[in-house]
Amino acid sequence: MNEFEYCFSTLGCSELSLHEVADLAERHGIEAVELRALSATLDLPTALAAEFGEPSGLATFLSRQKVRVAALNTSIRLFEAADLSGIEPFISWAEAAGAGYLRVFDGGNRLSEADLEQAADMLDAWQAMRRSRRLNVDLMIETHDALADFDQLVAFVERVPTARILWDTHHTWARGTDIEALWRRIAGNVVHLHVKDSAPDGSGRRRYVLPGQGDFPIARLVSLLRSNACRLPISLEWERHWHPELPPLEDALRAARTWWRQGVL
């Protein structure tokens, strides 16, 4: 068994069906996938219904596969939504898949105390509903917008200490956050990680590159994670859906084979 659970997001192969995604994962020895897009759409419930009919069909399919579904990724933004009702169409599919999490974005920019309070209330309501329906799936919030900022992320987890965090390590690092300092503050909340690599493009911006061709400090990250007893999923988020100029996901997975295993025995 690997020390970490290696994973990828279907954002890198959004044209594929789940049958094809499972084959891709098996070819590359990947244990888990997070579903963001399937069959050329971000509308996962519709894509899954077209492919499997009912959630029970998805459950039957996955029972025969080696790969597991780590999460279903929604487009909902916690700090920009009036409520979390948009999650409902995803729940039955996530439960059937045995997924641990539904991803929601953070959204927002500069957060006020009112923003934090409203988010806390919505998450409390979610947990109450989750208990009443005896759901297994939970929510994780991605550090994508407001929560990619060190101070705001720390303030959020202090305000909502039970929050589950999808740490997009590249987003926080690219904003100048020291990964060790941030890890010390959020380690107890992190349940899933996104990794990717990038390099400066000469204009003050960064461009995504194949894993190992940029300067993201993957070895430092792996060293940090090894000190944690949890076997966290490390997911390659290859954003080819948004950046079609990028090489195919298969190329990125081949490059990642050694990149994300640095320091792992």
The pLDDT score that the predictor gives to residue 1 is 45
Q: Using an 8 Å Cβ cutoff, are 108 and 115 in contact?
A: yes
The pLDDT score that the predictor gives to residue 2 is 58
User: Distance between CA 48 and CA 57 in Å, rounded?
Assistant: 9
Domains and CATH numbers, the chain: 5-259 (3.20.20.150)
Rounded-to-5 percentages of helix, strand, coil across the chain: 45, 20, 35
102: nearest Cα among 18, 34, 153: 34
The pLDDT score that the predictor gives to residue 137 is 98
Predicted TM-score (pTM) above 0.85: yes
Q: Up-side HSE of residue 72: CA atoms within 13 Å toward CB?
A: 27
Q: How far is CA 149 from CA 224, 252, 265, in A?
A: 20, 27, 33
What are the tokens at 260? Answer: 């994300």
CA 34 to chain centre: 7
Number of neighbouring beta carbons within 10 Å of residue 180? 12
Consecutive 10-residue runs of the chain (265 residues): their mean pLDDT?
83 98 97 97 98 98 97 97 96 98 97 96 97 98 97 97 97 95 95 96 91 95 79 93 97 95 60
What are the tokens at 218? Answer: 């993957």
Q: How far is CA 178 from CA 26, 146, 185, in A?
A: 34, 17, 11
